[in-house]
Structure 1
């Protein structure tokens, strides 16, 4: 036992002697980090100085291009194009371009349910607070495999059809840029304005 302890002590001393630091190794690590940071910053500045004013990528966005993307629709209807939609016309468009993802009646899937049915769940009929959101979302994001490909007429008709399927409007109700914002969604009463004070506020 004594011999074993002596052996351990000798090994420990030998290891300590091998790992003793020289005066150069004792320079604080922060000095090395600061030096590396300075070298990196200097190199980056020198590299950025070689950049051209323009990279020749893309093209200027003219008014026509901007107008294609400036299509948001607000709850009060601002942004809606002129047009009129009917549910009976929207049914044909829906079957052709929407049913494969949302089901023949709007709730069979495989994607999101659009129409409220006895199985429950959140849909545009019982969850969305503004009817104009239907037009806005369908126009910019649908159909899934070709977003933005629908004409304004098709979007108006689909919007009317979805509102009709959810029992919010009658089948013969005409949807226009004036009548759509006036459609009262069942879920609107569930939402309240954020009127909190004392922090960042949205005006």
Structure 2
């Protein structure tokens, strides 16, 4: 047997051994309470949404204090992508563009405010999501957003997205 064949055989046997193993044996699994909230995902159907709720009225005060500097006093002006529109700059801002309301919540909770990401409580993230959706006319001003109500919000541009999972015959949620 040539050296090349011997190496190839050893590699195949080693790969087979790895495939049969349960993993590389690195680290230890984390308990649910050890995983930070921002390392979990919110699915379009609402799986992963935390407890809590918020309304647009509650979100208005949070928006004024934590968001208006970047997104404008009413959510239309900017200078950073305004979440309300359409307007002169953005034809489809956050409240009208995203296919699922749960995605807005997940993004707001993980990435906002820009100068202090991951600092919002779940209730603040629900309230800000409600504020954005209400200002865009997607929900009423008094509608409370929660793990039960947010997945039921039908976004106005949902049908203009291609569901890559569905095209593959897969439904991850």
TM over 0.5: yes
Structure number with larger C-alpha Rg: 1
Cα gap change, 1:123 to 1:62, in 2 (>3 Å): same
- Confirm whether residue 94 of structure 1 aligns to residue 63 of structure 2: yes
Please name the residue that 1:115 is paired with.
84
- Alpha-carbon distance in 1 for matches of 2:60, 2:144: 14
**Offset from partner CA, 1:58-88 (integer Å, 9 cap, x none):** x978433324343311100000011111110
- Confirm whether residue 105 of structure 1 aligns to residue 79 of structure 2: no
Q: What is the CA distance between 1:171 and its match in structure 2?
A: 0.6
> RMSD between aligned alpha carbons?
2.1
Structure 1 gaps, min length 5: 1-58
Query: Aligned pair count?
Result: 142
2:140 to 170, 177, 180: 170
Listed as ranges, the matches of 1:119-130 within 5 Å are 119=88, 120-130=90-100
Please name the residue that 1:146 is paired with.
116
Structure 2 gaps, min length 5: 1-26
TM-score normalised by length of structure 1: 0.64
8 Å Cα contact 2:76-2:82 kept in structure 1: yes
TM-score normalised by length of structure 2: 0.74
Cα gap change, 1:103 to 1:61, in 2 (>3 Å): farther
What secondary structure, in the 3-state scheme, does the structure 2 residue paired with 1:139 have?
helix
